Chain A
Amino acid sequence: MSLSATSPLGTGPAAKAPRAQTAGRQEARWVATVAVLLVALLAYFCIAVPDFRDLGVSGILGLSEQFLFTGLIALGEALVILTGEIDLSTGAMSSLSGIVMAALWQQGINIWLAVVLALIISALGGAINGLFVTRFGIASLLVTLGTQFIFGSVATAVGGNAPPYNFPKAFVRLAGTGSVGPIPNELISFAVIAVVVWLLVARTRYGRGLVLIGYNRAAARYAGVNVQRTLFSSFVICGVLAGAAGIFVSGYYNAARDDIGNSLLLPAITVVVLGGVDIFGGKGRMSGVILAVFLLGFLDQGLLIRGNSSLTATMVEGIVLVLCLMLKIALDRRAGVRLKESLQRRFGSARRAAVLPDT
């Protein structure tokens, strides 16, 4: 797609083998970069924005309640992007799940049972995406572009004119605004889920296959990885995590929101990319994604506290994304070499190819 990915210079025996480099080192370096940026950001806000400093530790931790649902979506999205696919329907899925849960509860079903049912619906939604991608072999970008619209419409339809609100206290406390000491419940839930997903990718057989599919799908198949099943389940997990995010949104606002979808999708993808996951699959670590959730989230919240509007904050996020990508390209020596080579090839070779005098 991008020239650097398709240019004839990156692959083939003609490319010089780089000196002993390791994928792990490159990825670890990016995770460290994100961590440093996060610390620097928090330090900046603490020094430069008095209102932010005055929140104290518990207040700052409490801010995370505002962006952790984005983080949950990002975790699922990261799984799908690691395989080289993408899921654009996650935002709509969050809306749908929150609404379904609320509607079921309004019909008199126990709230916890409603949560489980909503998660099952989300899994089914993910399964539909996965089915189109694996069974019909359609690019996930197209499939999820379509299902995004469908899920969104269904959410609005189920929600009706006045989406339900005012859920039972126990639910709101657990999924929304409660806390243990200074630590919000939502942060605890996120931490648990994040650790599970991190282990899933880094340390399980499933994660191993997932990442290999992202690097080279054909080779993964030849090595005995069940490509179809792994891809399918990555969409299902992504759906479930998006559904969970929708439930946390409902808990946090104490109301079902059918309008939240699109506003969650783009930040989630931004987080994944910022976390160092290659949009073409394979490369990237979940630890980077988890750190990026906080980097982007605190950036957003800090700017809001500083008095910027939410759209300005979003704009700054976009700029940060571009800057980080440029930094990453610069850090990634290999990519740097490739770019230089391709420029050289393009502008240099035609001239160099001029006929030399016979010697």
Chain B
Amino acid sequence: MPLLLVRNKGLRSQGPAATRGHPDRASGGDVDRRPRVGTPRVGTRYEGRSLTKSFDGATVLSQVDITFAPGEVHSVVGENGAGKSTLLKIMAGIYQPDSGQLVLGEERVGGLSPRSAQQLGVYLVPQEPALMQSLSVTENLFVGILRRGRLHFNVDWRSMKQEASAYLDRVGLDVDPEVRAEELSIAQQQLVECARALVHRCTVIYFDEPTSPLTAKEAGTLFEVMKNLRADGYTLGFISHRLDEVLAISDRVTVLRDGKRVSTALRSEVEGPSLVKAMVGRELTGRERVRPPFDATGRKEMLAVEDLTSEPSFAGVSFSVREGEVLGLAGLVGSGRTEIAETIFGLRPSDRGTVRLEGRRLEHRSPRACIDAGLVYLPEDRARHGIFADVEVERNVTAGVIPHLARYGPLVKPVAERDLAKQATDRTGVRMASLDTLIKALSGGNQQRAMLSRWLLAAPKVAIFDEPTRGVDVGAKDDIYHLVAQLAEGGLACVFISSELSELAITCDRVIAMYEGHVVGELSGAEVTDANLGSLIVGAHTI
């Protein structure tokens, strides 16, 4: 193993200031009270063997083998729900696998928690940095392992501050270690998380879609840091939705599909189209559309959005949807898709622009006014914005039509409410013990069906579905596609937001693509293919 060599290269590239920050030299002497057992040196192999994990009966990861080697960036790619994130979270101790083994170096590790994984040298940089906002950068770096001074109970701020600057230098972050975390941008916080991994002497570092909240330039900085770490022999794992990034940074790429490992190959052996093919599991034109081609003649325009702007999320967005049409809204996370939907639905203020429903302008939009006018929105983040976890399915389903529950007189009629909920859940096929079951006891797919039932009750004319298949297993996904198709067949105008290109390709009649807050293209009919969409949403790069 060319370990020493690699490390020397690292030192050379960093210059003298950074040597203090090097994991093995960080703080010589007695300060490290963590168990010696298993504390790795730079250059540890970390292996997962036949990892399997299921949530609420839905298998999200099945018999996956993967090896992360030192001095290598190993990317895991796959569609949404393929199990990438789950895999990394298992490696980092956040989830426990149902079966399978983790092998760090030569030793088998089990029963990991995030804490013990860190002690063993494994760190996961989360998608959204989880820093303690009111504490200084220094303290965030050291929280949990604050350096103790001579009295043992006191904190040795001086040595920590010195070390902190060295570590920050190492990740290329030029900030005062004394500033509070909340004063940093998201990109800077991301780098602090990165430095935190080094402070904790972690040598296996995973990045879970770190670039999705970042601009292209900020992502570039992060990649510089990753390359330096790689040069120093760190073991790096990476997830991204942007294939161009994956191809740019990776040494090795593993493709997951529906929870199974499809392939692992060196970067030199793969190229864009072959990766996409492996991810979606078929030729790009293979899978059948769930509905016949759409004929716009004689169809009324239901929703018309003109010049809608809400800085800094998106600007100048215009589109329209006809009766019975499914319009796709494609774009990466952070491209402004969800913000557009939320602005239309009155959840966010708009700077300018109009929204018309059946030609009538919706002013002073609020969710209630939109629902009453016939426009509904299925939110992206089901757990936070969709379900009431501790409430029965019945009340979850009727929550969107509360004003209509008591038609005659002031009181809600329980029998009538139950009937409504029953009809709606039957229509979407929610599988549950009874309407009195708490919704959190249902699987993701059934929760989503219940959410769809909620909006069917409102008898909408236009529906915006935001990532309707997120966190839903494969079988349920198909049901949801067919349900959307069926609703469109019945005349509903649908807006379908997704970052899974293949599902846009099979459900949508027309797709508009978003990139960094702007509409960058529109495809319709036969043009709607994964490949065409893919090149649009990464900002006209070709895969």
- Asked if the two chains touch in their complex, CB atoms less than 8 Å apart, one says yes
Q: Which residues of A contact B (CB under 8 A)?
A: 11, 13-14, 17-25, 199, 203-205, 208-209, 212, 215-216, 218-226, 282-283, 345, 349-350, 352-359
Please tell me which one of the listed residues A17, A222, A353, A359 contacts residue B111 in the complex, with CB atoms under 8 A apart. A353
Q: Which of B148-156, B183-191, B315-323, B365-373 contacts A (4 or more CB under 8 A)?
A: B365-373
> Per a CB cutoff under 8 Å, which of A282, A345, A358 touches B106?
A358
With beta carbons under 8 angstroms apart, the residue of A25, A218, A357 that contacts B108 is A357
Instruction: Determine if A205 and B412 form an interchain contact, defined as CB atoms under 8 angstroms apart.
Output: yes
Q: What are some 14 contacts across the A-B interface (CB < 8 A)?
A: A11-B389, A14-B94, A17-B441, A20-B441, A203-B412, A222-B385, A223-B454, A352-B110, A353-B109, A355-B104, A355-B120, A356-B110, A358-B103, A359-B108
Evaluate whether A219 and B385 lie within 8 angstroms (CB atoms) in the complex, with A24-B436, A359-B108 already known.
yes
Residues of A within 8 A of B395 (CB): 208, 212
Chain B nearest CB from A98 CB (Å) reads: 30
Contact A223 B400 (CB under 8 A): yes
B361 at the binding interface (Cβ < 8 Å): no
Is the beta-carbon distance between A216 and B347 smaller than 8 angstroms?
no
Chain B residue at smallest Cβ distance from A334: B390
Least Cβ–Cβ distance between A197 and chain B, in angstroms: 13
Cα distance A212–B394 in the bound complex, in angstroms: 13
CB proximity to A under 8 Å, residues B427-463: 433-434, 436-438, 440-442, 454
Q: Give Cα A138 to B348, complex, Å.
A: 20
Kindly report which residue of chain B lies nearest to residue A208, judged by CB atoms. B402
Residue of A nearest to B458 (CB): A224
* Closest beta carbon of chain B to A6's beta carbon, Å: 13
List B388-406 residues whose CB lies under 8 Å from chain A. Answer: 388-392, 395, 398-400, 402-403, 405-406
Q: Whole-angstrom distance between the alpha carbons of A222 and B342 in the complex?
A: 9
Bound Cα distance from A123 to B226, whole angstroms? 60
Decide if B95 is an interface residue (CB 8 Å cutoff).
yes
Please give the distance in Å from A336's CB to the nearest CB on chain B.
16
B359 is an interface residue with CB less than 8 A from chain A: no
Cross-chain contact of A13 among B38, B56, B110, B379 (Cβ < 8 A): B56
Q: Which 7 A-B pairs have the closest CB atoms?
A: A353-B116, A352-B111, A224-B367, A349-B113, A20-B433, A223-B399, A22-B436
Q: Which of B108-157 contact A (CB under 8 A)?
A: 108-113, 115-117, 119-120
> A355 near B108 (CB under 8 angstroms)?
yes
Complex Cα spacing A359 to B388, Å = 45
Does B116 contact A222, Cβ atoms closer than 8 Å?
no
Cross-chain contact A22 with B405 (CB below 8 angstroms): no
Q: Is B377 on the interface with A (CB-CB < 8 A)? A: yes
Q: Is the CB of A222 within 8 A of B347?
A: yes
Contact of A222 with B386 at beta-carbon distance under 8 Å, contacts A352-B110, A356-B110 already known? yes
Q: In the complex, which residue of chain A has the Cβ closest to the Cβ of B384?
A: A218
Contact A224 B400 (CB under 8 A): yes
Give, as a whole number of angstroms, the nearest-CB distance from B493 to chain A: 19
How close is B225's CB to chain A, nearest CB, in angstroms?
A: 28
Contact (A22, B392) CB under 8 Å given A219-B384, A223-B399, A225-B399:
yes
Q: Are B402 and A205 in contact (CB under 8 A)?
A: yes
Please, how many angstroms separate the alpha-carbon atoms of A204 and B411 in the complex? Answer: 5
Q: Which residues of A contact B174 (CB under 8 A)?
A: none
List the B residue with the shortest CB-CB distance to A24: B436
The answer to whether A349 touches B116 (Cβ under 8 A) is: yes
Contacts of B390 in A (CB 8 A): 23, 215, 282-283
Bound-state CA distance A225–B95 (Å) is 35
Distance, CA A199 to CA B96, complexed state (A): 46
Q: Are B55 and A13 in contact (CB under 8 A)?
A: yes
Task: Confirm or deny: B37 has a beta carbon within 8 angstroms of a beta carbon on chain A.
Answer: yes
Q: Which chain B residue lies CB-closest to A16?
A: B56
Q: Smallest Cβ distance from B468 to chain A, in angstroms?
A: 14
Inter-subunit contact A215/B388 (CB<8 Å)? yes
Q: Are A353 and B385 in contact (CB under 8 A)?
A: no
CB-contact partner of A204 in B111, B367, B406, B436, under 8 A? B406
> Looking across the interface, which residue of chain B has its beta carbon closest to that of A278?
B390
Q: Chain B residues with Cβ under 8 A from A353's Cβ?
A: 93, 109-113, 116-117, 119-120
Which residue of chain B has its CB nearest to the CB of A225?
A: B402
Asked if B387 lies at the interface with its beta carbon under 8 angstroms from chain A, I say yes
| Residue B16 CB within 8 A of the other chain | no
Chain B residues in 8 Å Cβ range of A20: 433-434, 437, 441
B298 interfacial contact with A, CB 8 Å = no
Instruction: Chain A residues near B392: list those with CB within 8 A.
Output: 22-24
Given contact pairs A208-B402, A225-B367, A353-B116, a sample of 20 additional A-B residue pairs in the complex whose CB atoms are under 8 Å apart: A11-B389, A13-B56, A17-B442, A20-B437, A21-B441, A22-B437, A24-B436, A25-B436, A212-B399, A215-B391, A219-B386, A219-B399, A222-B347, A222-B367, A222-B386, A223-B454, A225-B399, A225-B402, A354-B37, A356-B109
Task: Assess the B438–A22 pair: CB atoms within 8 A.
Answer: yes
Q: Which of B96, B108, B398 contacts A356 (CB 8 A)?
A: B108
Assuming the A-B contacts A13-B56, A24-B436, are A222 and B110 also in contact, with contact meaning beta carbons closer than 8 angstroms in the complex?
no
B contact residues around A13 at 8 Å (CB): 55-56
Q: Please state if B368 and A226 are interface contacts (CB–CB under 8 Å).
A: yes
Nearest CB on B from A353, distance (A): 3
Complex Cα–Cα for A346 and B257 (A): 35
Shortest C-beta distance, B84 to chain A (Å), equals 15
Q: Considering the chains assembled together, what is the distance between the CA atoms of A219 and B120 in angstroms?
A: 39
A14, A216, A224, A359: which contacts B389 (Cβ < 8 A)? A216
Chain B residues positioned under 8 Å from A345 (CB to CB):
113
Shortest distance from the beta carbon of B461 to any chain A beta carbon, whole Å: 15
Q: Tell me the smallest distance from the CB of B247 to a CB of chain A, in Å.
A: 31
Q: How far is the CA of A352 from the CA of B388 in the complex (A)?
A: 35
Q: Which residue of A lies closest to B112 (CB)?
A: A353
Q: Is B410 an interface residue (CB 8 A)?
A: yes
The answer to whether A204 and B368 touch across the interface, beta carbons within 8 angstroms, is no
Chain A residues, CB < 8 A from B437 = 20, 22
Contact of A23 among B108, B412, B438 (CB under 8 A): B438
> How far is A352 from B120 in the complex, measured between Cα atoms in Å?
13
B391 x A23 contact (CB < 8 A): yes
Interface mask (B75-119 → A, CB under 8 Å = 1, otherwise 0): 000000000000000000111100000011011111111011101
Q: Inside 8 A of A222's CB, which chain B residues have their CB? A: 347, 367, 377, 379, 385-386
Residues of the B chain whose Cβ atoms lie less than 8 Å from the Cβ of A224: 366-368, 370-371, 400, 402
B53 to A: closest C-beta gap in Å: 10
Smallest CB-CB separation from A354: which chain B residue? Answer: B37
Q: Give the chain A neighbours of B115 by CB distance below 8 A.
A: 349-350
Q: How far is the CB of A201 from chain B (nearest CB, A)?
A: 11
The answer for the CA separation of A155 and B168 in the assembled complex, in Å, is 58
User: In the docked arrangement, what's the CA distance between A358 and B106, Å?
Assistant: 8
Residues in chain A near residue B406, CB distance under 8 A: 204-205
**Shortest Cβ distance from A231 into chain B, in angstroms?**
15
CA distance A224 to B372 in the complex (A): 9
CA A33 – CA B405 in complex, angstroms?
A: 31
Chain B contacts for A356, CB-based, 8 A: 107-110
A13–B383 Cα distance when bound, in Å, is: 10
- Whether the Cβ atoms of A212 and B388 lie closer than 8 Å is yes
Question: Which B residues are CB-close (under 8 A) to A204?
Answer: 406, 410-412
Alpha-carbon gap, A352 to B116, bound state (A):
9
Q: Which residues of the other chain, B, contact A354 by a CB distance below 8 angstroms?
A: 37
In the complex, are the beta carbons of B367 and A203 less than 8 A apart?
no
Establish whether residues A355 and B385, one from each chain, have CB atoms under 8 Å apart when the complex forms.
no
CB neighbours (8 Å) of B367 from chain A are: 221-225
> How many angstroms from the CA of A354 to the CA of B379 in the assembled complex?
42
Residues from 235 to 294 in B contacting A, C-beta threshold 8 Å: none
Nearest CB on B from A88, distance (A): 25
For residue A223, which residues in chain B have a CB less than 8 angstroms away from its CB? 367, 399-400, 454
